[in-house]
Chains A and B, each alone.
Chain A
């Protein structure tokens, strides 16, 4: 009886001590955050809605250079309907900053899109915030600024 009690208490002790250690374990790293940002560009260009659904967080705020912000559902509908079609893109990630459960990516891109029937090539500077959820990076915020000249 005593032996069982000791075993149960030892297990409880180890669980209690291990919990903070598990919480402090690094999750997604910088390389995977960078890859996730680029994968989102790639999925958008391939019109791959399933991939976009995985890469975008449910609480996404997608704020375009026009200043309008779309929810995830609105953004996916825009791509699904063909009103937004990515023809090509040349994205790069300039900087990644890591936090406990999130990452901020800053970068530039030149993208050619068809938006509401009009083709346009635009140069962007962007900031993306990624949240680590369900064992993967998910983009929760996107904000882009229009650049006058192509990024260097």
Chain B
């Protein structure tokens, strides 16, 4: 009786260790890391310049809050609609990344960018500071929060 009990416990222990090992292996294969967040950030800028709504749809989280430099925040749907309608058109975005922080399944990216765009008929040629927050979902980084602010033009030398 004792021998059978011991056998069962050992079998369960082995099974649970195998399960844990499988979980660790899976995590390592699709780990949310800094390089992936940086790549997703750049891919999002590139898709915006191309006006590639399909790519943006994959890169943006459904719960996106996209807050422009005037403080106005849009949902993912409203943001994508502005591309479809032609209200938002980027000619170029030259981004830099100053810092990336990983907090669990979230990546926070702080950076700057020079943006040349037309929004609602107004031409923009501005320098911005931005904060992107990416959430790790379904094995990929998706932008869940964006906030930018217009920086003052550099002082003349």
Contacts and interface: CB of A to CB of B under 8 A. Distances in A.
Interface of A: 2-3, 5-6, 9-10, 12-13, 16-17, 19-20, 59, 61, 63, 65, 67, 69, 95, 97, 99-102, 104, 106, 124-127, 129, 131, 140-141, 143-148
B65 A146 contact: no
A40 B71 CA distance: 21
8 contacts: A2-B6, A9-B9, A12-B13, A97-B144, A125-B73, A143-B131, A143-B147, A145-B147
A123 to B, nearest CB: 8
Given A67-B152, A100-B106, A143-B149, 17 more contacts: A6-B2, A6-B9, A13-B9, A16-B13, A59-B101, A63-B110, A69-B129, A102-B104, A104-B106, A104-B145, A127-B67, A129-B106, A129-B145, A131-B103, A131-B104, A143-B147, A145-B67
A30 to B, nearest CB: 13
A106 B13 contact: no
Interface in B124-142: 129, 131, 133, 135
B63 to A, nearest CB: 6
Contact of A145 (B9, B70, B145): B70
Contacts of B2: 2-3, 6
Interface string B8-39: 01101100110010010000000000000000
A91 B149 CA distance: 19
Contact of A67 (B10, B63, B129): B129
Interface of B: 2-3, 5-6, 9-10, 12-13, 16-17, 20, 23, 63, 65, 67, 69-71, 73, 98-99, 101, 103-106, 108, 110, 129, 131, 133, 135, 144-145, 147-149, 151-152
